[in-house]
A and B are shown apart, each in its own frame.
Chain A
Amino acid sequence: MSDVVLSDAERDALISMVVRGMARGEASTEQQSLAEASLILVKGPMMMPLPAGTTLVGDILRLAPDAPERERIMSTFHRFLPINRQLRDLCTAWQCRPDGSVNDHSDIGYDAQIRDRLDDIDDSVAPLLKRFTEDLPRLAPYRERLTVALTNLDEGDNAWFASPLIDSYHTVWMHVHQELLLTIGMSRADDEALEEQLVSGSHG
């Protein structure tokens, strides 16, 4: 464990920064403190976590190996990964048509089909988020953030599907995923291997 002492607000700001990967805008008081502690880097209007900050958040969020909720969380996480794959495939379909050309969103039938499949994914992930939240209450706001992205998408702004620059459905999903990985202490590489194993195992 690091010996850095953070206030609750600073800790939350650091977790948010590591989960999101970056922040933009004017640095808040907490973010300024984090920068002074060399946990994040402020570069003009952009802020990003430094390795020490990422390590610290890993230490803060990681469940103890013998935590009683670990098994339940892992079991639900195993259900999450195949849906995670489906979402990424769906984002690909949203961005690229089957022939590889860029989806210019001029075909409302095509887009509607992708949007409808997003409902299937949202229906599938809803009970998982509920189960995660029973053990990890801090994940509760993600449900609302996903719903906000869907609402904005349905109001006609396509960016809310997968734009990395706003809290689109894909962005929020990535944040959930990142926070889960930090919680269970799994690397991206292990996560990808596990996902592949779970997905290929389910092929008939």
Chain B
Amino acid sequence: MSVRPIDDVGLVPFGLGFERGLDTRSLCTRGVQMETLAGLGLPVAIGLTVPVPNVPGMVTVDRAAAAINLLETISGRAVGSTTPEGGIVLLRLSASAPVAAVGLPPDLVAIGVAGARIPTGLPPKMLADLSAAWWKTASFIAEYSLGVPAEDIASLGLDHDDPADRIEPLLALCEATGITPFPVDLSGQLAAGAAAMLARWNSPRAARARRTQQLPVDLPLALHIETVTVTDHHEAGHGHAVSRDLKSGLFAPNGAFRHGVRSTGERQMLGHPLSSLPGGVAMLTGVLAELEGRLGSVALVDFEFGPEGLVLVGLEEYRRTSARTATSLAVDLATRGITDERTAVRAIRPHHVLELLHPQPRLTGQEVLLVTGLAASPGAAVGRIVLTSEAAVEVAETGESVILVAAETSPGDLPGMMASAGILTVTGGSASHAAVVARGMGLPAICGASGLRIDRAAGTITCGEHVLPAGSIISIDGDTGSVYIGAVAIVRPEPSASLATVLSWGDDARRLGVRANADTGVDAALAMDNGAEGIGLCRTEHMFLGERLPLIRRVILSHNPESEEAALAALALAQREDFRELLLAVGNRPVTIRLLDAPMHEFLPATPQEAEDEDQARMVEHLHEENPMMGVRGVRLALLHEGLYPAQVEGLFNAWIDVSTQHGISPELEVMVPLVSIPEELLMMVRLMRRVNQEVASRTGIVVKFKIGTMVETPRAALMADQLAQWAEFLSFGTNDLTQLTYGFSRDDVERRMLGTYLEKGLLTVSPFSELDDPGVAALMRIAVDKARSVKPDIKLGICGEHGGDPVSIALCEDLGLDYVSCSPSRVPIARLAAAHAVLDRDPS
């Protein structure tokens, strides 16, 4: 950097930078951290920053001496002197850049050792600490400032176990091969330390680090110089404290500390728990609460403590945290009034919700816990116990899910691990071979389940009274470390309290309604639990799979009016039962029932040979279609079998009367006609349904209220939405079919054969079946929305394709002015949040 020194700024003691008008460009990240901490009135280390423009000058002995003078004046102590408690005052030199950067030179923690030699007569622990720190400092200066070959320095490390024994040979090595001998005076050591840091910052290693972080190649450095007192072990130490439990996300200051000098700039994660810190954690707790509020993030502070108390020496904002922590923090900050509810909703993104709701074992309390170990690799798995790699491969080949149970794993177990659904080991921690390999393969793993005994000869595993032979089924939860006997169901968990709060705040902000696609009472109940406001799509064809298939088959294949009528009566009865269950789960909410819409072949015997009789066989042959997806589907089937839809709505109306009279609930019925492309198709169906409604009313004396609407899933329907709106009280965009028909894509074929090529060649950036196509499909929807509202301004408009659960598509639905989206029950929380973002992300206030 060819920047002229700013003499009037000079050296900046911690806490005076902001008032001198300096910012991160010259003070760099660590300088700003210390300014922030000092600005809050918190106790910080005594030190100063050499701002970016003045750093090149620090390699001279004069400038180094000036910095030392200033620091001695502020601290009132001479560097190299001994404190009343017997500690030695030294200097710590560190560096930082204007932005968070990796690849910075390491801290030099013990500059100022008189004569470059460890004093004699120190207590053993202090001697060990100081020797280790001085070896690191001196060997770094030797390599990067004096040009001593790294290999020679490494040899000293191997030849002498004790760092204290390496110092004399190092000084001799510098004398023999260095550019100059090792500096023995304080200013010379500080200047050489600064030069070494700059040399390291310009090394290929640091350059590579900048490149991988996409940082400028000429990113500058500021230097920071602090006093550090090396003292006897139990009087002083250092540690870190983070504001939240990163697993639970709750505010719960935790961390670790060690005795002795902080010999590296890197945070030491291991040590004594924070709760046993001499002097207690009350001050740190207050500091972290204050910092969370100021920073709006999880806060982490580094600290040092000694006979004179505790000082803060570093600050870090945890911007990227787990979903659990992010939601907990967002809710806490809003509740404390530091932010507001809208900010909290904005802070939680769909990926957080996905993470929080990822499938986990559903525990009923009846499970038998076999053993617990360390949660080494996330996820859950159910499978048969295998005890050897060979067995894992063999059993997995039969299609069975297996869990490899081993004392520990080695490379020889790799084939078995690859064949397994999960791994369970008796020894090893979260960094064991099994854990590292399992995570590399995306397999759940539990390690260190030390209560387990494996008897390979007997082919059993034992824990307490439980003896399980190989082949028994167990379930493992890699998130908690629990192993259960037998198969545990793997399901999505309930939203946590924090997530539920954020979602409810999001509900206040959103305009779009969120409904769910559900065909059964169970699905509908799940959707309601997840906050759906109703059912946006009940696919009645799903009610006719399995045992019910013959019912619909008889309608389609009937060869005389009598048999069709009998078949329709049976169908209406069956539908009544199906709908009753669904309506009970829906309660007083809206529910959209889509009348039968499936390609006809799905209901027919696959071959004439599978038909019940010869007449059916002939019909099967007669009804064969070349392109069933575009053949006799939806309303077209109802035109051919005029009794079909009336039978369905009769079942629906009767079910409504059942739940209304027996349970006192009144679901808001919406009946939807599928695959309309000619507006008069809808008109004919409207007349049919009204007729049935009247018939039911005259028979029961109860008038069932219902709305009639149609799907918009063909381009023609979109273009004629004004005509549809004459008779429809709502329109629902079926964007799966609308996308297929707009592109002319057959989804299965194109996703399998073409999508990869489209993405690879850059013709598409995402599948239009996952994310709504704005310029094409959504353009048709825009036309439909405008035309429909021109005829009926209050017509209800929704979407029920898979796009209804996609955040990007939901934002587009907000733009289009739709009234609601409908998605699968499990996506409802994501849709609620995305609908809120669709409003909030547009509104900077």
Contacts and interface: CB of A to CB of B under 8 A. Distances in A.
A2 interface: no
Interface in A70-126: 76, 79, 85, 88-89, 91-92, 95-102, 107-113, 115-116, 119, 123, 126
B752 interface: no
A203 interface: yes
B320 A107 contact: yes
Contact of A174 (B247, B322, B411): B411
A88 B102 contact: no
Contacts of A31: none
Given A88-B436, A109-B102, A126 B154 contact: yes
A102 B378 contact: yes
B431 A89 contact: yes
B440 A115 contact: no
A103 to B, nearest CB: 9
Nearest to A98: B246
Contacts of A131: 158
Interface centre among A85, A95, A110, A204 (most CB of B within 10 A): A204
A91 B415 contact: no
Contacts of A136: none
Given A22-B414, A108-B213, 16 more contacts: A19-B411, A21-B413, A92-B430, A96-B439, A99-B324, A100-B375, A102-B378, A109-B101, A112-B209, A113-B102, A115-B209, A126-B154, A127-B151, A127-B154, A192-B428, A204-B233
B224 interface: no
Most chain B CB within 10 A, of A19, A20, A188, A189, is at A188
Interface centre among B102, B129, B209, B375 (most CB of A within 10 A): B102
A46 interface: yes
Nearest to B388: A51
Interface string A155-168: 00000001111000
B74 interface: no
Given A112-B103, A127-B155, A164-B414, A102 B258 contact: no
Given A95-B440, A109-B100, A192-B408, A48 B390 contact: yes
Q: Which of A101, A115, A165 has the largest count of B CB atoms less than 10 A from its CB? A: A101
B581 to A, nearest CB: 39
Given A48-B415, A100-B378, A85 B151 contact: no
Contacts of A96: 378, 430, 439
A109 B109 CA distance: 24
A69 interface: no
Given A20-B411, A48-B390, A204-B260, A162 B440 contact: yes
Contacts of A15: none
B412 A49 contact: yes
Given A85-B431, A113-B102, A108 B212 contact: yes
Contact of A99 (B154, B321, B412, B427): B321
A3 B298 CA distance: 65
A127 B153 CA distance: 10
Count chain A CB atoms within 10 A of each CB in B101, B209, B439, B479 and give the residue with the most: B439
A146 interface: no
A54 interface: yes
A174 B213 contact: no
Contact of A43 (B233, B324, B393, B432): B393
Contact of B412 (A21, A88, A98, A162): A21
A21 B410 contact: yes
A11 interface: no
Contacts of A41: 390
Contacts, number: 137
A79 B415 CA distance: 31
B413 A127 contact: no
A129 to B, nearest CB: 11
Contact of A119 (B100, B101, B205, B430): B205
A110 B213 contact: no
Contacts of A46: 393, 415
B390 A164 contact: no
B80 interface: no
Interface in B630-670: none
A79 B321 CA distance: 35
A62 interface: no
Interface in B180-220: 205, 208-209, 212-214
Contact of B102 (A95, A112, A170, A178): A112
B412 A48 contact: yes
A111 B212 contact: yes
B175 interface: no
B685 interface: no
Interface string B255-282: 0001110000000001000000000000
B796 interface: no
Given A127-B154, A164-B441, A189-B427, A99 B102 contact: no
B671 interface: no
10 contacts: A21-B414, A46-B415, A88-B432, A95-B439, A101-B355, A102-B378, A108-B214, A123-B150, A154-B208, A188-B410
Interface string B432-468: 1101110111000000000000000000000000000
Nearest to A78: B161
B415 A21 contact: yes
Given A112-B209, A112-B213, A116-B102, A100 B431 contact: no
Top 5 closest pairs, chain A to chain B, by CB = A21-B411, A99-B246, A88-B431, A112-B102, A127-B154
Nearest to B321: A99
B530 interface: no
Interface residues of A, dominant DSSP? helix
B124 to A, nearest CB: 12
B325 interface: yes
A102 B154 contact: no
Contacts of B296: none
Contacts of B157: 127
B96 interface: no
Nearest to A150: B208
Contacts of A19: 411
Tell which of B151, B233, B417, B431 has the most Cβ of chain A within 10 Å. Answer: B431
A49 B390 CA distance: 10
A18 interface: yes
B411 A178 contact: yes
A92 B213 contact: no
Nearest to B412: A21
Interface in A15-36: 18-22
Among the interface residues B212, B247, B270, which one has the most CB atoms of the partner chain A within 10 A? B212
A89 B437 CA distance: 13
A92 B435 contact: yes
B158 A127 contact: yes
Contact of A116 (B209, B260, B324, B431): B209
B95 to A, nearest CB: 14
Contacts of B575: none
Nearest to A104: B351
Given A46-B415, A112-B213, A115-B212, A163 B440 contact: yes
B482 to A, nearest CB: 15
Contacts of A189: 407-408, 427
A110 B415 contact: no
A174 B390 contact: no
Nearest to B322: A99
Nearest to A171: B411
B212 A154 contact: yes
Contact of B389 (A18, A48, A111): A48
Contacts of A143: none
A175 interface: yes
Contact of A203 (B270, B355, B410, B437): B270
Contacts of B260: 204
Contacts of A162: 436, 439-440
Contacts of B258: 204
Contacts of A178: 410-411
A167 B461 CA distance: 33
A92 B414 contact: no
Interface in A33-53: 41, 43, 46, 48-49
